[in-house]
Amino acid sequence: MRLFVYISFLFFLNISFSQVKFEAEVSKAKLGLNENLRVDFKMNKDGDNFSPPSFNGFRVVGGPNQSVSNSWINGVRTFSKTYSYFLTPEKKGNYTIGQASIEIDGDIYKTLPVKVQVTEAVESSLSPGSPSSVVDDDIELSIEISKSNPYLNEPISVEFKLLFNPKINVTNLGEIDNPEFKNFWSQNIKIPRLEIKSTSYKGQRYNYVTWKKALLFPQKAGDLEILPLTLDVTIDVPTNRRDFFGNTIYTQTSKKVASRKRVIKVKNFPENGKPESFNGAVGNFDISLNSSKSQLKATESFQLEFKVNGNGNLKLFSLPEIIVPSSLEKYTPEFKEKINTSLSGMNGEISNVYTIVPQYQGKYPIPPVEFSFFNPKTEQYVTLYSNESIVDVLDGPTRLSEANVQATNPVSNSITSSDQFNFIKLSSNFIQIDRKNIIDSKKILFTLFLIPIIILVLAIIYFNLRNKKVSENTLKSRDADLLARQYLNNAKIDMNNKDSFYASLESALFNFIKSKYLIEREDFSKDRLKSILEKDKISDNIIEDLIDIINSCELARYTPTTPEGMDQDYEKAVKVISNFDKR
């Protein structure tokens, strides 16, 4: 009888252990819009391929956090495994936490749906000693701004730091609301990794983590707002309980913290002494104008590079145009930049590289280039001028006006003496031939002999002019095609910079079309381009893709774009150029 009872006890014990439990638990069934919800998916046996629900109506701000408990009590093994999620509601309403699933011993188990009600925001009813109440006093998100009263386009740095008491542990961070920096040109400064550092705050020692850094350039005068940054923080808070070894037991909670809204008072540029050449450059700069050649032959090309280097808003102003004599053909410049960005601002250099092709021989002066900027430290405008350079074209055709220049002294037609032409005989011993047909035959023969010579001379002149024009057009086409592919490569490099990307893409398309049809910049319009391509029997698909890319380049100057849109425009441009090459 005793043996039977013992066996029965083991049998029922085995049955109780073999029952698998997998269920969902929520921290509360009703919560305010400003509160967080914790959802735990618990199981009493280990499994694989856990799949959470979609959490419709909520945003996941923490998790999944996994915890495992394995204990023996009176010889009985107890196992528990939990997946925890922290959710914040998106709006008021009644929601259902869907079914989670997991595979245990080859079988699929699912939790039951859980209903949750979200009401309007509620006031905190926490007791003073509760974990969340402790967190309110010991954690803060601060914002540090380098300058609160800058000029237009003067850089200011912004840092968001999470400060917390050393007695609590921050285990997880997530952004809920990220400021867009409206009316500022902004660039985030990359933080390689989060580091915990110490500082003095409110007369006590605090730990802090720098979460976000940004460099801002105000684009509008007046009062500009920097909106708050909101973080969802998961924290381990110490309790008054201790474990078996005397160590403090921590409890986990979550908290939403936000920085304060800041107002920046932006000053406009002073009107007194403002030069006409000023176009928004702010900082401290130097300029240079360099030519790759000082002597060359006509139809050879050389490069003119206008460079601006220094500290300031290098990405936010355009370089002045280089003016060259009309006998030098100037192509659209290639833009280059080498810029480093940090919290102190931008430093580096930008330049425009022009390809110049002289048409005639002679000495051509390149006039100085004027560049103006505003120095916020001295609060004064500065105007710089580049050096004047001369390009000497040694060999090539001359201008028609120069070839026709004659001596200023007129040729005298007066006869100096009366016997100047006495050596000419006025009479002859020729016998007159009266046969008219012989004279007519000589005229015909002379005419027939002269016609081929005239045709030959005209043909030589025509082919020389044609070869010269073809040579010049071939050179222009080759240079334009080379520039097109260079700009297309620059566009691929400048994927992270919208303005530089679309400027390079537009220049690539213009130079490529110029290499095919020799269209000048002033004639480069969509209607004219469409008529030329239709006349050349280009397919409608290629024409439509080309017009779409040109429209994208124009719209990109005034509207925001996405990286996906930029990738599509780049691939479309490569496709258009490839189709032209195949044709």
Would you write out the chain's pLDDT as a tens digit for each of its 583 residues? Answer: 666 655 655 555 544 445 888 899 998 888 887 678 889 998 888 888 889 998 888 888 777 888 777 777 666 777 888 888 988 888 888 999 999 999 888 889 999 999 999 887 665 444 444 445 455 668 889 999 999 999 999 999 999 999 998 888 888 888 877 788 899 999 999 988 888 898 888 778 889 999 999 999 999 999 999 988 888 888 887 776 776 666 777 777 777 788 888 999 999 999 999 999 999 999 999 999 999 998 888 878 999 999 999 999 999 999 999 999 988 899 999 999 999 999 889 999 999 999 999 988 889 999 999 999 999 999 999 999 999 889 999 877 876 544 333 333 333 333 444 444 555 666 667 666 655 565 566 777 788 888 889 999 999 998 888 877 666 555 555 655 666 667 677 777 777 777 777 788 777 777 777 777 767 666 667 777 778 888 877 888 888 888 888 887 777 766 777 777 788 778 888 887 777 766 6
Query: In this structure, what is the dihedral angle of CA atoms 135, 138, 141, 146, given to the nearest 10 degrees?
Result: 180
Q: Please name the residues in contact with 76: beta carbons below 8 A apart, sequence gap of 6 or more.
A: none
Question: How many angstroms separate the CA atoms of 499 and 478, rounded?
Answer: 27
For CA atoms 153, 155, 156, 158, the dihedral sign is positive
What tokens were used for 177? Answer: 């609301």
Token readout for 306 is: 């206008």
Handedness of CA 279, 281, 284, 288 (dihedral sign): negative
Give the pLDDT of residue 483.
62
With tokens 């200023």, the residue in question is 408
E strands of 44-189, at which residues?
48-51, 58-73, 76-89, 93-97, 101-104, 107-110, 114-119, 139-145, 156-164, 169-177, 184-189
> What residues are paired with 383 via a beta bridge?
372
Residue with tokens 């160590």: 247
Tokens of 377: 């430290």
Q: How far is CA 258 from CA 142, 148, 211, 483, in A?
A: 8, 20, 12, 50
Find, among 34, 254, 232, the residue nearest to 123 by Cα: 34
Closest CA to 247 of 255, 236, 258: 236
Q: Which of 290, 274, 283, 343 is nearest to 316 (CA)?
A: 283
- Provide the angle, in degrees to the nearest 10, between the axes of the packed helices 526-535 and 540-555: 170
Asked if residues 216 and 144 have their Cβ atoms less than 8 Å apart, the reply is: no
Position 17 scores a pLDDT of: 47
The distance from CA 259 to its chain's CA centroid, rounded to whole angstroms, is: 29
Residue among 199, 107, 118, 212 at smallest CA distance from 158: 212
DSSP string, 314-354: TTSSPPPPPP--TTEEEPPPEEEEEEEEETTEEEEEEEEEE
In the sheet that holds 389-393, the strands lie side by side as 295-296, 389-393, 362-366
